Amino acid sequence: MKLVTHKKKRIEIMIEAPALDRITEALDRLDATGYTIIPALAGKGMAGSWQRDDAFADAGRIVCVVSITDAARVEGILVAIKDVVERYIGIVSVADVEVIRSEHF
């Protein structure tokens, strides 16, 4: 039996914690079928290296929101979160992925 996969899009949003509610509200409003929120522990970017433990408040904490969805929803999601992402430290990436349970996305 050959395994069948289905093409989807993975949206990954790295953003400061205070913006998280606005991001998830946009995903909910646009019927994203789901997302996962992961705390970022450390990293390095334009301002240098950082660690989650060094943050004094939520403003310095970074979270990663991952959503896998149909290609048709991607543009609407990106438009909805663009203004939020531009006001905070963060990045957004979109990648092609394949899943084995298409009905979940």
Q: What is the pLDDT of residues 18-40, one digit of tens each?
A: 999 999 999 999 988 899 999 98
Read off the pLDDT of residues 37-87 as tens digits, 9 standing for 90 and up. 999 888 887 777 777 666 555 566 889 999 999 999 999 999 999 989 999
pLDDT of res. 44: 80
pLDDT of res. 12: 98
Rounded-to-integer distance, Cα 2 and Cα 99, Å: 14
Residue 43 is assigned to a structural domain of this protein: yes
Residue 14 is assigned to a structural domain of this protein: no
Residue 7 is assigned to a structural domain of this protein: no
Residue 5 is assigned to a structural domain of this protein: no
pTM listed for this prediction = 0.85
Residue 54 is assigned to a structural domain of this protein: yes
Could you tell me the residue range of the domain that residue 62 belongs to? 19-104
Task: Tell me the pairing of strands 42-45 and 62-69.
Answer: unpaired
Q: How many domains does the chain have?
A: 1
Chain Cα centroid distance, residue 73 = 14
Of all residues in the chain, what percent carry a pLDDT higher than 70?
90
Residue 80 is assigned to a structural domain of this protein: yes
Residue 8 is assigned to a structural domain of this protein: no
pLDDT of res. 58: 58
For residue 57, what is the domain's CATH number?
3.30.70
Tokens of 86: 């531009």
Residue 97 is assigned to a structural domain of this protein: yes
**CB 65, CB 37: distance < 8 Å:** yes
pLDDT of res. 27: 94
Q: In whole numbers, what is the pLDDT of the chain averaged over residues?
A: 88
pLDDT of res. 38: 95
Rounded-to-integer distance, Cα 105 and Cα 99, Å: 9
Q: CA Rg, the chain, in Å? A: 15
